[in-house]
Structure 1
Amino acid sequence: MQWTELLNANRRKPKKTNSVGTAKGRLQIERDFDRILFAAPTRRLADKTQVFPLDKNDSVRTRLTHSHEVANLARGIGVRLAFEMKEDIFGTNLPDVCVERDVPALLAAIGLVHDLGNPPFGHQGERAMGEWFRKEIPVCTSCPMDKIYNDFRQFDGNSQTFRLVTKLQILNDEFGLNLTYATLASMLKYPRTSFSSSKQWKKHGFFYSEEPVVKDIWEKTGLREGIRHPFTYLMEACDDIAYSVLDAEDTVKKGLASFHDLMDFLSCQNNASSDEIMRNVITKSKEDNKEYAKGELSPAELNDMSMQMFRVYAIAELVDAVVIAFKENKDNFLDINCQEKDLISISKGHALCEALKMFDRTRGYQHRSVLKLELEGSNYIKGLMDMLWVGIHGHKTKQQKKDEKLSSATTLPEYHSDTPFGRYVYGRISENYRRIFESPQNDLPVLYKEAQLLADAISGMTDSYLIALHDELKSLYEYEHSSK
């Protein structure tokens, strides 16, 4: 792979010869970060669960704060690569690339965008959607095209993110945010479809509906199925660092564990004394805690201050380990046959990162209060999907109605979508999503389009909006059915 192709700053949408320039001193890849930052779905991340659903504590992270933190870590790594290691990483023959500006901006952009398509209630929301689709669209072994419905049976927010930025966000064309090839290629965390034979990753990174877009991106950047952009490894590592360290901080902030619980947990790991990074972080954090304990602080304040310094030490060590690992393995990441699964596992920060993930799971994610809220969120999602499906499944588009009228064909069987409730709920779905669903140019199978409209609608909602819409529609749904 060549950096000149991997950092391709061209866009899929052809330039208009008479268009007014809006760059104003910004490079194309720098503009990608700005387009993502100002997009409405980015703002909606403020009301989407990171780990703890519907938390009332404003200090606990949402998807938006998490995304900004990942972008910050990624940008920092980009600055180090571009200024401290420029020739070692990128060589000297990149005439059309400003490494010092493009690299930090590109890494920040994919860090900011990486969770944009995640549904409400975090990973539990993904699981709930997948469970609903597996129930409503069961596997049909005799159907030749059945495999494409794995897009929904195995619903993944990464694929929805790619769809969002390439198709859904802009109303007046089919190019979405029209990001550069470099950004689109490097944000593909899992370069495979849901029905691919590739076994390197269990998750998928794009839907069947966006496969032509992906093939175009691979052609322009020198990539192919199963092969990641080198920067994808860095973005994933920043995501791992952010959620492993910062979810531990949130777990303590919520009172589910204490600073000393974390120190005891890390100290009990088999490699705690032999692993230099883990030992350094534990030692420095405990020393600061002892100093803070001499002051007149409440237990909560002592926990907070100690965790803040733990966060500083842990992130600094893990980021440095990732930069070193990337530099040492750069030739491998540039190999078109690269089979590395991730960057953290081959870095010296692996032990600390894995120990923190285990702490997060056992002390935070599996706490009964969190599990209760996740169950409630799952029920809300499945219930709303039931009701929206009434309006979506069997809905006849304007073109279908026109074709039936011209051909005098027998009308389709009556569907629930023809009822007052069905028409009402269909109208509550985003006009933009409905326009794409109804477009005459959308020649995907009808059931696939219907499932995709439902996935677009649910994943685009915030936690609180989904609950509010569920409660509103539930009363109307129950009233209509009770009156029959």
Structure 2
Amino acid sequence: MQWEQLLSLRKQGNKSKRIRIEENETRLGFEVDYDRVIFSSPFRSLQDKTQVIPLSKTSFVHTRLTHSLEVSVVGRSLGRIVGKELLKKHPQLQSVHGYQFNDFGAIVAAASLAHDIGNPPFGHSGEKAIGDYFLNGKGQRFKNQLSEKEYQDLVDFEGNANGFKILTESKNGVEGGLRLTYATLGAFMKYPKQSLPKKPTAHVADKKFGVFQSDTDFFAEVASELGLLSRNNTGFARHPLTFLVEAADDICYTIIDFEDGINLGLIEEEIALEYLINLVRNNLRKDVYSSLKTSQDRLAYLRSLAINTLIAEAATIFIEHEEAILKGTFSEALLDKSQYKAQIADIIKISVEKVYQSTEVMEKEIAGYTILSTLLDVFTTAYENHYNGNARHYDKLVLRMFGCDLSQKPQSVYEYLMDSCSFISRLTDGNALQIFQKVKGNL
């Protein structure tokens, strides 16, 4: 892969090539991407979507919104550090094409900002609830009406693929979704493959999937423009900057989810401080640390030091393996190569045991399953009857409540099922609960 292609400023609908050296420096295309994401309604809805604790009313617990903002900040730093080194290795990018090190930071920041935009309510349990409805619930009735890949899109409903859909689909007369640059769309795509074959290799890009059947044509266009390499007919090699987006997310959820667990009282402070010290021991200034009087100040200091340590580590690993990354042969997440891998694993292990598997989280995930399964059943049944021409008055009321145009019928079963999942995935935790109460007759 070539950086000149990978840094494409082209946007959906552009006919002519956009040249970096001709860009307006005060309104650079990659920075416009960031602005378009942050002002979009799907991004704003992340304010009321779960990061760790579903339906939490505790002010200091992260939502998807605050998490995404923090990931974008870390991603911007990573992109800038790597960008400076890449311009030294490939000076023609600057001297001939006009790229600056900030461009790399802007692309990674925008992709990082959008990385959770496709996640449904109630965290990762929301994805599982949607998939379970079609695999084990009443949604099984649609299996024989779908292709194998279409059905797999539903039973393995994936927030990453839904994010690509949200960012790119034409809706309500708006062509091309947010119309982001292809460079940002490429960096956003952590898993550049379809739902099948499922996990064909141990490559990190095959862990999940990143594109629904409804969006394969446009994704192929993006991949072609960027020059992404084909991988054994199962998908494409990652855009190199995707590794930085992934690292930014890994850094934040490792450290910040751990911090949330401490703030919620799920992880003992003394134990937590010990684990963080193990991570930053080589960079710890003992005089500064010992002068801090409160555990809160000590935690803030260690959190900042841990994030900076892992940013520097991830950037170094990227530069060391840039050649393999460009060839598409680098197959691990950057932090899997880290000298701090054991310390990171210890912190995640504690978060899993004390936070993700806590009673509060599990109870609310159970509620989330019930809420989303009920909404899916009501919505898909109404759509099914409308599609078959025998919609009841109740079905029409449901579809109108969800903003559907009853004058038009979906073109296929797959289309209306994806519309159903798309609508529900865009709901916030609070919206989903309110609609659930309404369909249950609680006004």
Aligned match for 1:461, one of 423, 427, 434:
427
Shift of 1:147: 2.6
Cα distance in structure 2, aligned partners of 1:127 and 1:147: 18
Q: Which runs of 5+ in 1 are unaligned?
A: 17-21, 294-301, 397-411, 478-484
Q: 2:37 — aligned with what?
A: 36
Q: 2:263 — aligned with what?
A: 253
Aligned match for 1:473, one of 422, 436, 439:
439
Shift of 1:352: 2.5
Shift of 1:264: 4.8
The amino acid of 2:36's aligned partner reads R
1:191 aligns with 2:192: yes
Q: 1:217 — aligned with what?
A: 222
Shift of 1:343: 1.0
1:366 aligns with 2:339: no
1:118 aligns with 2:91: no
Cα distance in structure 1, aligned partners of 2:389 and 2:401: 23
Cα distance in structure 2, aligned partners of 1:468 and 1:141: 30
Shift of 1:476: 7.5
Q: CA 1:10–1:388 in structure 2 vs 1: closer, same or farther (change >3 Å)?
A: same
Q: Is the 8 A contact 1:29 1:180 kept in 2?
A: yes
* CA-based RMSD: 2.7
Give per-residue Cα distances to partners, 1:192-241, cap 9 Å, x unaligned. Answer: 11013633323110101000011101111111323100000110011000
Give per-residue Cα distances to partners, 1:242-286, cap 9 Å, x unaligned. Answer: 00100011001111122212245578xxxx6xxxx55336x658x
Q: 1:315 — aligned with what?
A: 307
Q: CA 1:354–1:154 in structure 2 vs 1: closer, same or farther (change >3 Å)?
A: same
**Percent of aligned positions that are identical:** 30
1:332 aligns with 2:324: yes
Q: CA 1:438–1:112 in structure 2 vs 1: closer, same or farther (change >3 Å)?
A: farther
Q: Is the 8 A contact 1:36 1:113 kept in 2?
A: yes
The amino acid of 1:426's aligned partner reads L
Aligned match for 1:423, one of 392, 396, 405:
396
The amino acid of 1:204's aligned partner reads F
Q: Is the 8 A contact 2:43 2:117 kept in 1?
A: yes
Give per-residue Cα distances to partners, 1:390-436, cap 9 Å, x unaligned. Answer: 3211314xxxxxxxxxxxxxxx563xxx22221111112245xx59x
Question: What is the 5 A alignment of 1:365-404?
Answer: 365-396=356-387
Cα distance in structure 2, aligned partners of 1:238 and 1:101: 16
Q: 1:68 — aligned with what?
A: 69
Q: 1:206 — aligned with what?
A: 211
Shift of 1:468: 0.4
1:154 aligns with 2:156: yes
Shift of 1:339: 4.2
Cα distance in structure 2, aligned partners of 1:375 and 1:141: 25
The amino acid of 2:259's aligned partner reads E
Q: Is the 8 A contact 2:321 2:330 kept in 1?
A: no
The amino acid of 2:152's aligned partner reads N
Cα distance in structure 2, aligned partners of 1:186 and 1:154: 22
Give per-residue Cα distances to partners, 1:441-477, cap 9 Å, x unaligned. Answer: x75xx22112101111110100001100110111189
Aligned match for 2:334, one of 325, 333, 343:
343
TM norm structure 2: 0.89
The amino acid of 2:441's aligned partner reads S
Q: Is the 8 A contact 1:2 1:334 kept in 2?
A: yes
Question: What is the 5 A alignment of 1:131-150?
Answer: 131-134=132-135, 135-138=137-140, 145-150=147-152
Q: Which runs of 5+ in 2 are unaligned?
A: 17-22
Q: 2:60 — aligned with what?
A: 59
Q: Is the 8 A contact 2:79 2:102 kept in 1?
A: no
Give per-residue Cα distances to partners, 1:71-122, cap 9 Å, x unaligned. Answer: 000101122223355213x443453342233211101100100000100011
Q: Is the 8 A contact 2:8 2:183 kept in 1?
A: yes
Aligned match for 1:233, one of 243, 249, 259:
243
Q: Is the 8 A contact 1:278 1:352 kept in 2?
A: no
Q: Tell me, what secondary structure is at the counterpart of 1:106? A: helix
Q: 1:452 — aligned with what?
A: 418
Cα distance in structure 1, aligned partners of 2:73 and 2:269: 25
Q: How many pairs align? A: 426
Shift of 1:341: 2.8
The amino acid of 1:92's aligned partner reads Q
Shift of 1:143: 7.4
Cα distance in structure 2, aligned partners of 1:137 and 1:471: 21
Q: Is the 8 A contact 2:273 2:299 kept in 1?
A: no
Q: Tell me, what secondary structure is at the counterpart of 2:97? A: coil
Q: CA 1:156–1:334 in structure 2 vs 1: closer, same or farther (change >3 Å)?
A: same
Question: What is the 5 A alignment of 1:283-302?
Answer: 290-293=290-293, 302=294
Q: 1:403 — aligned with what?
A: none
Q: CA 1:130–1:96 in structure 2 vs 1: closer, same or farther (change >3 Å)?
A: same
Shift of 1:23: 6.6
Cα distance in structure 1, aligned partners of 2:168 and 2:338: 33
Cα distance in structure 2, aligned partners of 1:236 and 1:384: 32
Shift of 1:184: 1.1
Q: Is the 8 A contact 1:253 1:304 kept in 2?
A: no
Q: 2:19 — aligned with what?
A: none
Indicate the structure (1 or 2) with the bigger Cα radius of gyration: 1
